Amino acid sequence: MKPKIFLSLFTIAFLSQIVCAQTDTTKTLFKKKNKLFELSFGQSLLFIPDAKLDSIRRQASIIVPTSAILFLAELRPTKKIRIPLFFNLPTGTKQYVVNGAIINEKASITFGTGIQFKLFQIKLDSRSKVEFEVGPLASFIFNKRNDIVVAPVLAGRFRIMQGDNFSMYLGCSYSMGIKALGILYGTGTVF
């Protein structure tokens, strides 16, 4: 079922990229409008919380980061403030290699929101720029018993913008509530 959901959402994002893309001739005919929304798909690697690392290290084990599909929508009420909404859908289980045996544990689905601020922007050329945004988020995690756990997160990302619509990003997050590090990357479309 997960591949069907991913393909459906990927198709929607791809079609929105085509529909919302503007050509240079369109820009000269119409007044440039503010882009207030970004939709992107990406990948995130979720690392094991520090509390579990200590007990796992004592067992001489190897920790395998958990991959997840990242769905990210970002509302931009002003040039400097962004309100992200995100959803992490794990594509596998948490895995540990202990004494040559693989131990699997259910990976948690997470979603959240918060506020981010654009700290700086560097123009690369007339159509390209790099932005850095950072800010606090709240992550809602479904644990093993399907209870919701709230964890504060500090996240930041570098965004490479090409033209008016296309963006690529690379960033990281640290969840202070569960003491876990994450890496995120992907592409998006700005509306």
pLDDT in tens, 113-168: 999 999 999 999 999 999 999 999 999 988 777 788 899 999 999 999 998 889 99
Q: Does 41 reside within a domain?
A: yes
What value does the mean pLDDT take over residues 58-68? 74
Residue 183 has pLDDT above 90, yes or no: yes
Considering the domain boundaries, does residue 68 fall inside one? yes
Q: Residue 27's pLDDT is what?
A: 46
Can you tell me the distance from the alpha carbon of 154 to that of 27, in angstroms, rounded to the nearest whole number? 37
110 within a domain of the structure (yes/no): yes
Number of domains the chain contains: 1
Whether 126 is in a domain gets the answer yes
Which residues have a Cβ under 8 Å from the Cβ of 96 and sit 6 or more positions away? 48, 56, 61, 62, 63, 64, 102, 103, 105
CB 113 within 8 A of CB 84: yes
Q: Residue for token digits 């544990």? A: 105
- Strand ranges for 143-178 from DSSP E: 148-162, 166-175
Radius of gyration, CA atoms only, the chain: 19
Q: What is the pLDDT of residue 114?
A: 96
In a domain, 14, yes or no: yes
Global confidence as pTM: 0.73
Q: What is the dihedral of CA 45, 51, 54, 55, to 10 degrees?
A: -100
Q: Give the range among 91-100, 104-113, 118-127 with minimum mean pLDDT.
A: 91-100
Per residue in 37-56, pLDDT tens? 888 888 887 666 656 656 65
Considering the domain boundaries, does residue 28 fall inside one?
Answer: no
The verdict on residue 27 lying in a domain is no
Lowest mean pLDDT among 108-117, 142-151, 181-190: 142-151
Phi/psi of residue 95, each to 5°? Answer: -130, 140
Is the distance from CB of 169 to CB of 186 less than 8 angstroms? yes
In a domain? residue 121? yes
Calculate mean pLDDT across residues 159-182.
90
Q: What is the CATH number of the domain that holds 133?
A: 2.40.160.20
The gap between the terminal CA atoms of the chain, to the nearest Å, is: 29
Report which residue type is found at 98: V
Range of the domain at 134: 2-22+33-190
